[in-house]
Structure 1
Amino acid sequence: MNLRKSSYSKSIIFFCQLFLIATLIIACHSTKIHTSTQTTNNGCVQNYDINTDYFPQKIKITHATGLTVEYHKHYKVVTIKNPWQNANTGFQYVLVQCGTPTPQGFNQTQVITVPIKSIVSLSTTHLPHLAKLRVVDKLIGINNSKQVNTPDVLERIKAGKVAQIGNNSNVNIEKLLELNPDLVTTFSTGNSQTDSYAKLTEAGLKVGINAEYMEDTPLGRSEWLKFTALFFNQEEQAEKIFQEITQKYEQVAQKVKSIKNSPTVFVGFNFKGTWYMPGGKSYVAKYLADAGANYIWSDDKSSGSLPLSFEVVLERAANADYWLNFSQSWHNLKDLFAEDSRYADFKAVKTGNLYNNNARVNETGGNDYWESGISNPDVVLSDLIKILHPERLPNHQLFFYRQLS
């Protein structure tokens, strides 16, 4: 009997010891997770751990050439390599996880705490990023509400939650300082007379230069969504969104890979005596190539615009099949001829193959092609293929483009 009791007691002690050890392991594990990653409601780390990677989800730049990001455990270094045409300088931003120490060796003006809680955008092209990332509620200021087409942003404007700050060359610094945003996103042309970057940084504001317009491909421009995402710690979401955009674009482009007869195309219009034609390495040329077009200036090696005379364009494009992307103020053929009667000499005018990217212009003149079009290159490409090869996309309805009649 005593032997049985002794055996029973040893068993009880053994199982209690096992239970205690298991409890301690779980407790230690839970404590480690708790202290190293716990954040408050505002996204700040409560208990900084030098060994913790606070950015487990990272982005990878695959198409944009002017943007890079280097990850460290509690901060990320974002570099803008080519902010404007012929720039001899770049920009660098150090995005530090809230609640962690600021790294040494960086200029304080470059340091921005993330995730940001408020943003002012001085370009409508950045607004679709906020909508796709579902952070429109952080938008507190824009340049001009008349140009806006993004539905979520329009709702916020109507609710009186977004201030108007003014255009890039005429920004209301006082109002911006009152708003005190965590970040102001803008763009730069390299012209100190019109750019706002210097004025904004001198005022002590945190400013991010978005150089998407310098990219030479549609997907390269679209990928700048990731630039915006970095400030919100929305890497995972941005990767998913851009992957979907890329897949759609490539699937649509595949529709015309086997095309043997490519229609000839030219773009632009004569503006005050000069016809600015996109170079053969521009994003416009890339769009047309992916849409199965024979762009007349595709042999050019530049990515910028070529300033040409009317006569030079007429000589080369007189017999082109299609004319795209001309003046936004032309609503019909009468407007075109009123601008310059010589336009009647183009074959594309005679055949009616005139298509413009102004199908989505709001009542105050804001063109959605220059807003959401950049973030949805697959839709733009679908429009172009529908125009040039309608049989390849029989069910697609033109979204950004319309025919001039």
Structure 2
Amino acid sequence: MKGFSRPLTGGALLLSLLLTGACGGAVTPATPTSAEGRCVTSYDPAKDYFPVKQTLRHAANFTLTYAKHYQTITVKQPAPGAKPETYVLLRCGTPDPKVAGATVVETPIESLYSASTTHLPFVTGLGVLDRLKGVASAGFITSAQVLEKVKAGAITEYAKGQEIDTEKVIAARPGVLMTGGTEDKAYGPLRQAGIKVVANAEWLEATPLGRAEWIKLMAALTGTEQQAGQVFDKVEGDYRSLADKAKAATAVPVLPGQMYQGQWSVPNGGSYVATLIKDAGGTYAWAGTSGPGSTTLDLEAVLAEAKDAKVWLATVNEWKSLADVEKADARYAKFDAFGAGQVWSSNKTLGPGGGNDFFERGVARPDLILGDLVAILHPDLAPGHEFAFYQKLTR
């Protein structure tokens, strides 16, 4: 178990250490809906039980197709290097189509156990927080709504010590346990016990809008397709509007990331981070590389390529001032952005347990990510901008 907020560990951290921001209006949470009364009591094989159908425009790591009484979802890479997994989302009360090799999940689900904080903005945005019954650990959560329910006992923690309590999960029998895009040793026994383990591997997407579109997987499970369309269409529209605004601006050289355990992770040119930098009117030394994900370098190699970057975009919870940066490593002061006082960290909003809202909301809100970046790189394009995630480090 790698912890509830997946981006805080391993390769996901090294990618996520790079970007997230804010701008644009808030997405209004959808009106809550109830699963009650949604089960079919008299099955009609001629009836289409999905009057609202979702289509995917950006997400590449899962597919979604419809039959009259069930949906078929295939997550192409549920975890790095893992084989595809297929799920039949069966409208409850209708017959099982017996799709070979597929996990059958009756929908709309009544209860959800979540392995990552990145699921939380999808849950709240769709108005189905009442169905969230379990989180791996509440320590990294920043959402006040979710924390309130944890405190009240309405949401339980099933992996407080970073190890899944299989007995607790089996006893609760949630409609779905949603993974954070990695495989855990406990998932095998849980599957054998009949727990429906469904992969959410949005972090393997190559574009910001592709990651955000995983709200449609949550909607397929909860029967909130119409709400998902409304939420995602606004995020996509705001994102495109900001990207269009920045398109004509002169590209600003940026330095993404910072050292982590002796290595500096730089985004490859085909990554979602690279897309964000480009769409914000920026460029960086490794923009011409290929492929998704990131490459790790030592600090001297980064200095050799990006010493003259105008703006440094970091993500370190503890950094509040340039003195904090220099204290972490004296060599950081060699970057031109440090000397110019243009060091920004996406640590504006932290939860009571040390979680960073950047990691929690960033997946669902690339429009906010892009808004902050445009305001940082091209302040003339965003006068009076109110930052959601980034703050400039003081001298």
Q: TM-score, normalised by structure 1?
A: 0.85
Q: Is the aligned partner of 1:361 residue 2:350? A: yes
Q: Which residue of 1 aligns with 2:98?
A: 104
Q: Distance in 1 between matches of 2:255 and 2:360?
A: 23
Q: 2:87 corresponds to which letter in structure 1?
A: Y
Q: Which residue of 1 aligns with 2:67?
A: 72
Q: How does 1:40-119 map to 2 (within 5 A)?
A: 41-85=36-80, 87=81, 89-107=83-101, 110-119=103-112
Maintained 8 Å contact 1:322/1:353 = yes
Maintained 8 Å contact 2:181/2:203 = no
Q: Which residue of 2 aligns with 1:127?
A: 120
Q: Distance in 1 between matches of 2:352 and 2:115?
A: 20
Q: Which residue of 1 aligns with 2:159?
A: 166
| SS state at 1:219 partner | helix
Cα displacement (A) at 1:364: 1.3
Structure 2: stretches of 5+ with no match in the other structure: 1-33
| SS state at 1:228 partner | helix
Q: Which residue of 2 aligns with 1:17?
A: none
Q: Distance in 2 between matches of 1:205 and 1:168?
A: 21
Maintained 8 Å contact 1:119/1:184 = yes
How many residues matched? 361
Structure 1: stretches of 5+ with no match in the other structure: 1-38
Q: Distance in 1 between matches of 2:158 and 2:310?
A: 44
Q: Is the aligned partner of 1:229 residue 2:222? A: no
Maintained 8 Å contact 1:83/1:90 = yes
Q: Distance in 1 between matches of 2:341 and 2:297?
A: 24
Q: Which residue of 2 aligns with 1:200?
A: 190
User: Given the superposition, is the C-alpha separation of residues 379 and 104 from structure 1 closer, same or farther in structure 2, using an over 3 Å criterion?
Assistant: same
Match of 1:286 among 272, 275, 283: 275
Per-residue CA deviations over 1:245-286 (Å, capped at 9, x if unaligned) read 100111111111111x22100111122322111111111111
User: Given the superposition, is the C-alpha separation of residues 134 and 326 from structure 1 closer, same or farther in structure 2, using an over 3 Å criterion?
Assistant: closer
Cα displacement (A) at 1:328: 2.8
Q: Distance in 1 between matches of 2:129 and 2:39?
A: 20
| SS state at 2:388 partner | coil
Cα displacement (A) at 1:200: 2.5
User: Given the superposition, is the C-alpha separation of residues 245 and 75 from structure 1 closer, same or farther in structure 2, using an over 3 Å criterion?
Assistant: same
Q: Percent identity?
A: 38
Q: Distance in 1 between matches of 2:185 and 2:207?
A: 24
Q: Which residue of 1 aligns with 2:140?
A: 147
Match of 2:210 among 199, 220, 228: 220
User: Given the superposition, is the C-alpha separation of residues 210 and 88 from structure 1 closer, same or farther in structure 2, using an over 3 Å criterion?
Assistant: closer
Q: Distance in 1 between matches of 2:162 and 2:203?
A: 17
Q: How does 1:23-34 map to 2 (within 5 A)?
A: none
Per-residue CA deviations over 1:10-49 (Å, capped at 9, x if unaligned) read xxxxxxxxxxxxxxxxxxxxxxxxxxxxx99441111100
Per-residue CA deviations over 1:127-184 (Å, capped at 9, x if unaligned) read 1111111110011110111211223222322321010011696111111122211111
* Bigger fraction of residues in helix: 1
Q: 1:104 corresponds to which letter in structure 2?
A: K
Maintained 8 Å contact 2:266/2:295 = yes
Cα displacement (A) at 1:302: 2.3
Q: Is the aligned partner of 1:305 residue 2:299? A: no
Maintained 8 Å contact 2:35/2:109 = no
Q: Is the aligned partner of 1:255 residue 2:245? A: yes
Structure of greater relative contact order (alpha carbons < 8 Å, 6+ residues apart): 2
Q: TM-score, normalised by structure 2?
A: 0.88
Q: Distance in 1 between matches of 2:181 and 2:231?
A: 26
Cα displacement (A) at 1:327: 3.0
User: Given the superposition, is the C-alpha separation of residues 271 and 88 from structure 1 closer, same or farther in structure 2, using an over 3 Å criterion?
Assistant: closer
Please list every run of at least 4 consecutive aligned residues from structure 1 whose deviation after the TM superposition is greater than 4 angstroms: none
